[in-house]
Amino acid sequence: MTLSRRAVAQKFAVLTAATILAACSASEDTEAGANQNAAASGNGVVNVYSGRHYDADIALYDKFTEETGIKVNYIEAGGDALIERIVREGAASPADIFITADAGILWRAETRGVFRELDSDKLVERIPAQFRHPQGKWFGLAKRARIIIYNKDAGLPKGFDSYDDLADPAHEGMICVRSSSNIYNQSLLASRIAHYGEEAATELARGVVANFAREPQGNDTSQIEAVAAGICRLGIVNSYYVARFVGSDDPKNAAIGEKIAVLHPDQSGTGAHINISGAGVTAYAPNAENAEKLLAFLLRDDSQAAFASGNNEYPVVETVKPQGPIALLGDFKADDLPVAELGANQNKAVEIFDAVGWP
């Protein structure tokens, strides 16, 4: 039986985790599940700790190695687990780059001292200020919108065009959404705090809870399936989840995609909420120069197209156009809130969720 590169890397990780990263717990070693040769250092390597789990990313690492001769070692795990690992490893950490899939997690890493500041004109000139840290601690690599979907047969409720409409009592029993512990929901509410204040954000969260069609459960895929099945009329999801169904080669998934439609909210106001996947060079990076080279590579036009389309996201570099199924969702007005503010308001968002009883 021929194994994919990812399968080989995962098998190798299980066999070697105990000797390479003995200080880590068994659960973390299993979670990492990728090339565990991250302890290597030297001029010819860069070690990536990634919270993203896509073959397209690995293909880009391979291309970077082919072009530069710099070997990319990587491990994959949840963003919070990787933060804890980097903090525990301290100055001995082999990590050069930390990559994750939400501005809120970048903020958590920043507050734990994971990143160093980079003064790089090459990176700054590629990324709009909205999508990078003001002091160069992290940089956006791809972006997505958190949007509203609805059941096509039931239709969009009359006059519905904003996130605020989710809290309208007229929509009681209509909404499916995942748990408040989900970072995407926390970042969405954090953006409402930044724009409208805590009181308005609280009223929105309280209204959504009153309008649940069911208790929060599952991931964004689960919400899409529930809306398509008519379990709920409305759902709150990330755009790339929708694109996976709309562009699927699987007839079953494509049929689900046909049963839902998309609303980009607040087009007459602040615009649809935007979040990012992003990365930064770690505080104790043993190969910081190579890490900066990899970040610059990932922000090239060709790399941006591949990195974003690999997960049906939008490029952060403005000259690169969306490709693949995500482009089918159409153009829309995006919120221009600096994503650094999502982390700054994260704790307050969690407090609000708890106060209104959003599980």
**What CA–CA distances, in Å, run from 39 to 109, 222, 286?**
20, 37, 10
CATH of the domain at 14: 3.40.190.10
What pLDDT, on the 0 to 100 scale, is given for residue 102? 96
Residue 20 and residue 169 in one domain: no
Phi/psi for 108 (5° steps) reads -60, -40
Domain-located, residue 58? yes
pLDDT above 90 for 132: yes
pLDDT confidence of residue 124: 97
Q: Cα–Cα–Cα angle for 181, 116, 320, nearest 5°?
A: 75
Percent of the chain surpassing pLDDT 70 = 88
Residue 347 is predicted with a pLDDT of: 97
pLDDT at residue 6, as a whole number: 45
pLDDT at 8: 34
Residue 327 inside a domain? The answer is no
> Average pLDDT of 211-218?
98
For residue 7, pLDDT over 90 is answered with: no
d(CA 339, CA 273): 10
Q: Residue 45: is its pLDDT beyond 60? A: yes
Tokens 């970048």 sit on residue: 106
Tokens of 255: 């049929």
Nearest to 283 by CA among 105, 127, 110: 110
Residue-level pLDDT at 43: 53
Asked if the structure places residue 326 within a domain, the reply is no
Which tens digit of pLDDT belongs to each residue from 87-120? 999 999 999 999 999 999 999 999 999 999 999 9
Tokens for 54? 């896509």
Cα distance between residue 239 and residue 164, in whole Å: 19
Q: Is residue 241 part of a domain?
A: yes
Q: Are residues 202 and 283 in the same domain?
A: no
pLDDT band at 49; cut points 50, 70, 90: very high
Question: Among 2-6, 49-53, 80-84, 117-121, whose mean pLDDT is lowest?
Answer: 2-6
Q: Mind listing the pLDDT tens digit for each residue in 314-338? A: 999 999 999 999 999 999 999 999 9
pLDDT of 300 reads: 98
Residue 114 confidence (pLDDT):
98
80-90 in b/e form (b: 16+ CB < 10 A) is ebbbbbbeebe
Q: What is the mean pLDDT of residues 119-139?
A: 97
3-state secondary structure 133-144: CCCCCCEEEEEE
Q: For residue 37, tell me if it sits in a domain.
A: yes
Q: Which helix (H) or strand (E) holds 74?
A: strand 71-76
Residue 33 confidence (pLDDT) above 50: no
- 71 and 125 inside one domain: yes
pLDDT beyond 60 at 77? yes
Helix (H) or strand (E) holding 97: strand 97-100
The pLDDT of residue 30 is 30
pLDDT one-digit tens code per residue, 275-320: 999 999 999 999 999 999 999 999 999 999 999 999 999 999 999 9
Here the tokens at position 359 are 């599980």
What's the CA gap between 137 and 285, in Å, rounded? 13
Q: Number of structural domains, the chain?
A: 2
Read off the pLDDT band of 168 (50, 70, 90).
Answer: very high
DSSP class of residue 96 equals -
**26 pLDDT above the threshold of 70:** no
Whether residue 254 sits in one domain with residue 283: no
Tell me, yes or no, whether 258 lies in a domain. Answer: yes
For residues 138 and 148, state if they share a domain.
no
pTM: 0.88
Considering the domain architecture, whether residues 161 and 245 belong to the same structural domain is answered as yes
Give a yes or no: residue 17 inside a domain: yes
Whether residue 78 sits in one domain with residue 118? yes
Residue 205 lies in a domain: yes
Question: Residue 183: pLDDT band by 50, 70, 90 thresholds?
Answer: very high
Q: Is the pLDDT of residue 67 over 60?
A: yes
Domain identity same for 254 and 219? yes
Is 315 in contact with 334 (CB distance < 8 Å)? no
Q: Is the pLDDT of residue 72 over 80?
A: yes
- Residues 219 and 264 occupy one common structural domain: yes
* pLDDT tops 50 at residue 229: yes
Which domain, by its residues, includes 243? 144-273+332-356
DSSP H helices in the chain: 5-20, 26-32, 55-68, 79-89, 103-111, 121-124, 183-196, 198-210, 220-228, 239-246, 251-258, 288-298, 301-309, 340-344, 346-356
Average pLDDT over residues 17-24: 34
| Residue 176 and residue 105 in one domain | no
User: Average pLDDT, stretch 269-280?
Assistant: 98
Q: What is the mean pLDDT of residues 188-203?
A: 98
CA–CA separation, 260 vs 242, rounded Å?
Answer: 9
Domain shared by 183 and 93, yes or no: no
Say whether both 241 and 288 belong to one domain.
Answer: no
